[in-house]
Structure 1
Amino acid sequence: MIFLKTEEEIELLRKSNLLVGQTLAEVAKIIEPGVTTLQLDKIAEEFIRDNGAVPTFKGFPNHLGQPFPGSLCTSVNEVVVHGIPNDIPLKDGDIVSVDCGTYMNGFCGDSAFTFCVGDVAPEVKQLLQITKESLYKGIEQAVHGHRLGDIGYAIQSYAESYGFEVVREFVGHGIGKEMHEDPQVPNYGIRGRGKQLKKGMCIAIEPMITQGNREIGIENDGWTVRTLDRKCAAHFEHTIAIGMHSADILSSFEFVEEVLRKDIK
């Protein structure tokens, strides 16, 4: 069942999602070679709780009922999604997707950003750029009267035009009082197909794009998803509300990008 949100509920969703953006910025401040993803996780959990929210990922069960041990999903290089924070130091040239969820005032926030660690190869930087741009191509289609296939087609056609591939097994989702609500939001599709979008629907759009083949496997831990060819994957995610003429982006990369701009200076 799809729940349409009121304006008041959308504002509560916005607060939770802005906190996710601010948390990702706290993480961005310390990402560098030598830092571990466990350190990122600790900073994120403390920041989320200090701001009166709880991390929704921590303890969230997978299809086998295994609880996720971290507050962040930290997916390095060929890990597509659901990487478990660990004590392995990040290396120069790595990329790390950081996916974060919060629960506050009865509503969830969910957003992801893929970071460069030190000096990253140009072809991998391009993967990140195109994945992020494909997210916004999908968001452009997230308006009243369009269909889910319009979002998926926009993402897929853009990513594939650069020679990248789109993961099929993991998709975006509705969001509200629960982190995962209906409908599922694939990052591939056919224009004009799928469920019709309506004003007040709130969804998380999250392209997962691979540098090589899109085939994936799940590790024995029940969570970690890797590309089978071990080439890199990138992941960007925004939570949005469907509008009459344009989508309302409830999460934000602005906090992260402000930190990254300072790092460049």
Structure 2
Amino acid sequence: MGLRRSLYKTPAQLRAMVEPGLITAAALQALRPAVVAGATTAEIDAIAYETIVGRGAESNFQLVRGYRHTTCISVNEQVVHGIPGERVLQPGDIVSIDCGAQFKGWNGDSAITIVVPDPSRPELVAARQRLSEVTEDSLWAGIAALASAHRVGEIGDAVQTHIESSGEGYGILRDYVGHGIGRKMHEGPTVFNYRVADLGPEVRPGLCLAIEPMVVAGDEATLVEDDDWTVSTVDGRDGSHWEHSVAVHDGGIWVLTEPDGGAAKLAEFGVVPVEIA
């Protein structure tokens, strides 16, 4: 019973989750203009750090044992956990950026994917943009499902259904999944991005989840690079990663890592988010 209770937060705790979510969103928004050809991933990481610290928070990624960066930046065949450094972005690169902030002991976690413009290779850019769009839309399909779900596993069903309906034949990473979020960046329950037989815990007020589909253009098989962090596709095909932290409360759901609570994107699904009182 103790583990089960820990999944659900009090109204006051949900309110405390709002600011770290907004700080995380601000960091990702601040770095967007810097994701251009010629920029290094370290320069992009520095913008996120300055934004988070400037808001009185700290990077929760830097609190992970053995990791000293504010973001994970994954390029092309790298899907997640790429380490920022001296890599210079090239025209046409598909870049996934994962970021989080901890504020007064509470956490936010979010990820975006950006395709660097390349007018000389419109077909490549279009293919990569399509991968990003399908991944992002599958995230919103999962969030929308949460609004009426009875069990957490219904999220993965919605994510997989959306990806399959794209007709692109994309793969979904199986070894990397979403999670609960709160006092720690990674808490229970596990949030699968695909259908599972065990639908898991009940969805009810107090549940906070980080939903994060990781989708690849080809086969879902991955490997961990020699840096012991970066996860890349075995077949060298592109990957995309989108993520939001979402709270379930008495009034409905609220996307903590979107300033509008997800209103613009959820409107496409007929879902109206309700601000946490």
**TM-score, with normalisation over the residues of structure 1?**
0.89
1:141 aligns to what SS in structure 2?
Answer: helix
CA-CA distance at 1:42 after TM superposition: 1.1
Separation of aligned partners in 2, 1:191 and 1:154: 14
How big is the shift at 1:247?
2.3
Report the Cα distance in structure 2 between the residues aligned to 1:93 and 1:114, rounded to whole angstroms: 13
Aligned to 2:180: 174
2:73 matches 1:87: no
Q: 1:16 aligns with which of 12, 20, 28?
A: 20
Report if aligned partners of 2:115, 2:125 keep a CA contact under 8 Å in 1: no
The equivalent of 1:226 in structure 2 is 232
Residue 141 of structure 2: aligned partner: 137
Once residues 232 and 131 of structure 2 are traced to their aligned partners in structure 1, the CA distance between those partners, rounded to angstroms, is 16
Instruction: Report 1:92-111 matches (<5 A).
Output: 92-111=91-110
Report what 2:215 is aligned to: 209
Unaligned runs of 5+ in 1: 62-66, 255-265
Listed one character per residue, the Cα deviations across residues 190-217 of structure 1 (whole Å, up to 9, x for unaligned) are 4882222121100100000111011111
Q: 1:58 aligns with which of 40, 57, 62?
A: 62
The 3-state SS of whatever aligns with 1:173 is: strand
Q: CA RMSD in A?
A: 1.9
> Amino acid of the residue matched to residue 221 of structure 1?
D
Asked whether the 8 Å contact 1:59–1:70 carries over to 2, the reply is no
Counterpart contact for 2:77–2:236, Cα < 8 Å: yes
- Tell me how far apart the structure 2 counterparts of residues 244 and 59 of structure 1 sit (CA, whole Å): 31
Report Cα offsets for 1:214-238 as digits up to 9, x if no partner.
1111112110000111111101000
Structure-2 change in CA distance of 1:48 and 1:191 (3 Å): same
Aligned residues: 250
Question: 1:240 corresponds to which residue?
Answer: 246
SS of corresponding position for 2:73: strand
Indicate if the aligned counterparts of 2:149 and 2:155 stay in contact, CA closer than 8 A.
no
1:74: which partner in 2? Answer: 73
Give the corresponding residue for 1:164.
170
Q: Which residue number in structure 1 is paired with residue 193 of structure 2? A: 187
Rounded to whole Å, the distance in 2 between the matches of 1:24 and 1:88 is 19
Match of 1:257 in 2: none
Between the aligned partners of 1:7 and 1:29, the Cα distance in structure 2 is 36
Unaligned runs of 5+ in 2: 119-123, 261-277
Alpha-carbon distance in 1 for matches of 2:251, 2:30: 33
TM-score (normalizing by structure 2): 0.85
Match of 1:116 in 2: 115
Query: Is it true that 1:149 corresponds to 2:153 in the alignment?
Result: yes
Tell me the CA shift for residue 11 of structure 1: 1.9
Q: Please give the per-residue CA displacement for 1:104-126, whole angstroms capped at 9, x wherever unaligned.
A: 01100100000111235211111
Q: Which amino acid in structure 2 is aligned with residue 31 of structure 1?
A: V
Looking at structure 2, the residues matched to 185 and 148 of structure 1 have their Cα atoms a distance apart, in angstroms, of 7
108-117 or 242-251: which moved more?
A: 242-251
- Which stretch shifts more, 93-102 or 182-191? 182-191
